[in-house]
């Protein structure tokens, strides 16, 4: 096969795949090492030669390899000190998607429900493919009894994590160009920790929102860093092409919550989900004589009857913290450690707030066109 034919064949492979579920960890390790090698070659200004290696291109697939092809024309002298940390953060998140699970559950695929049937403590649980992927974040593995289904699930985990990795690396590239062009002077202040409690809470909330149907996804890195958006949620009839923006914070103190959110302009176009906002929502329902989404059963979720909104916010915060810190493994991760009434409260609150935020967003845009610029519009295009 000629070099041009080999180049064409590798460019036609968007993502690498495994042929055995047991290869997932090794494949992930090889991809991480390959990216770290390419980043080092970029800093040493020999990236083009490294990309000429067919093995690297086949390992990364055309999507990731293409990102590094474009990087060959970008200078590295000033940017390496920022990019190195940012890339390491994205690789840490990539690792968390396929790290070896600490608990595994046997599963049988059901064509009728398009989900896995998983036995757990004498009961059978239905786990969708997206939930099985998300469970890996919590180091929980779903093991289909059918080999082909097991391979399919392993590749689903790999491809979803690679898609996110490529999107993050693309965003980092734009951030580097923005810094070089003077649009991002505070690059040295941009840090994030993928293992923080806040990130764990975001993932827990996403799991809760996706309990019955897949509707919530993590926002892109650019939206997370520059647009105050942790999650995107989509519902039938919601007039938002990419979904409503959700800002998630595990804050149970009203004063601290106010300090953390008061600086944000146009708060009305966001769904702000905190224990404080949930407690305030319950109080509003009680004052209006309306039923909350969690129902009266929600009061049984707390050890004692909260005396006011402040105590209720703290109690809700403790519920979420206990779920995140729980060491008990479940096929759906820690989500079911959150009592059902609280999960229904979260789901109903976000759904209602998403439609309200969409209406306010439309009104604001009609009133002041261009009032809400996206971060990409403020950054220069990649050269």
Quote the CA–CA distance of 193 and 190 in Å, as a whole number.
Answer: 11
Hey, is 40 helix, strand or coil?
helix
Quote the CA–CA distance of 79 and 176 in Å, as a whole number.
Answer: 6
pLDDT band at 381 (very low <50, low <70, confident <90, very high): low
pLDDT at residue 7, rounded to an integer:
42
User: What percent of the chain is modeled with pLDDT above 70?
Assistant: 89
pLDDT at residue 134, rounded to an integer:
94
pLDDT at residue 353, rounded to an integer:
94
Enumerate the domain spans of the chain: 7-100+148-193, 196-383
Quote the CA–CA distance of 314 and 254 in Å, as a whole number.
Answer: 9
Cross-strand partners of 225? none
Length of the chain: 383
pLDDT at residue 369, rounded to an integer:
67
* Residue bearing the bigger pLDDT, 6 or 47: 47
**Residue where the block lists tokens 């905190």:** 274
pLDDT at residue 2, rounded to an integer:
38
pLDDT reading at 47 higher than 70 = yes
* Surface-to-core class of residue 232, CB atoms within 10 Å of its CB (0-12 exposed, 13-18 middle, 19+ buried): buried
| Mean of pLDDT values over 85-93 | 92
pLDDT band at 378 (very low <50, low <70, confident <90, very high): low
* Residue bearing the bigger pLDDT, 289 or 141: 141
C-beta separation of 150 from 163 below 8 A: no
What's the mean per-residue pLDDT of the chain?
Answer: 86
Quote the CA–CA distance of 232 and 206 in Å, as a whole number.
Answer: 9
**Strand blocks (E) in the chain:** 103-110, 115-120, 123-127, 140-144, 216-218, 231-233, 244-248, 271-273
pLDDT reading at 143 higher than 90 = yes
pLDDT band at 75 (very low <50, low <70, confident <90, very high): low
pLDDT at residue 79, rounded to an integer:
65
Output the pTM of the full model.
0.89
C-beta separation of 136 from 123 below 8 A: no
């Amino acid at each position: 096969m000629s070099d041009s034919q080999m180049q064409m064949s590798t460019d036609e492979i968007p993502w690498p795949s495994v042929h055995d579920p047991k290869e997932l960890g090794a494949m992930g390790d090889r991809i991480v090492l390959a990216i770290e090698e390419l980043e080092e070659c970029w800093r040493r200004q020999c990236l083009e030669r490294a990309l000429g290696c067919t093995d690297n291109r086949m390992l990364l697939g055309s999507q990731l390899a293409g990102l590094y092809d474009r990087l060959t024309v970008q200078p590295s002298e000033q940017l390496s000190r920022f990019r190195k940390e940012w890339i390491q953060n994205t690789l840490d998140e990539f690792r968390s998607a396929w790290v070896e699970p600490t608990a595994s559950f046997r599963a049988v695929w059901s064509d009728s429900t398009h989900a896995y049937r998983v036995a757990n403590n004498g009961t059978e649980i239905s786990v969708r493919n997206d939930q099985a992927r998300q469970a890996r974040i919590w180091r929980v593995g779903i093991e289909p009894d059918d080999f082909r289904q097991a391979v399919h699930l392993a590749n689903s985990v790999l491809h979803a994590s690679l898609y996110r990795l490529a999107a993050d690396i693309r965003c980092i590239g734009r951030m580097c160009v923005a810094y070089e062009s003077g649009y991002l002077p505070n690059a040295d202040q941009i840090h994030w920790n993928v293992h923080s409690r806040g990130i764990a809470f975001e993932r827990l909330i996403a799991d809760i929102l996706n309990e019955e149907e897949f509707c919530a996804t993590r926002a892109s890195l650019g939206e997370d860093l520059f647009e105050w958006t942790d999650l995107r949620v989509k519902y039938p009839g919601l007039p938002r092409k990419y979904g409503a923006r959700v800002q998630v914070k595990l804050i149970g103190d009203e004063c601290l919550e106010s300090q953390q959110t008061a600086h944000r302009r146009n708060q009305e176009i966001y769904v702000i989900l905190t224990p404080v906002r949930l407690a305030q929502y319950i109080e509003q329902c009680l004052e209006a004589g309306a039923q909350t989404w969690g129902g009266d059963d929600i009061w049984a979720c707390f050890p004692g009857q909260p005396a006011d909104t402040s105590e209720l916010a703290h109690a809700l915060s403790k519920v979420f913290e206990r779920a995140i810190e729980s060491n008990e493994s479940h096929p759906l991760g820690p989500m079911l450690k959150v009592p059902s009434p609280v999960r229904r409260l979260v789901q109903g609150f976000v759904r209602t707030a998403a439609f309200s935020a969409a209406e306010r967003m439309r009104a604001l845009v009609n009133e002041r066109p261009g009032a809400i610029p996206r971060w990409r519009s403020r950054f220069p295009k990649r050269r």
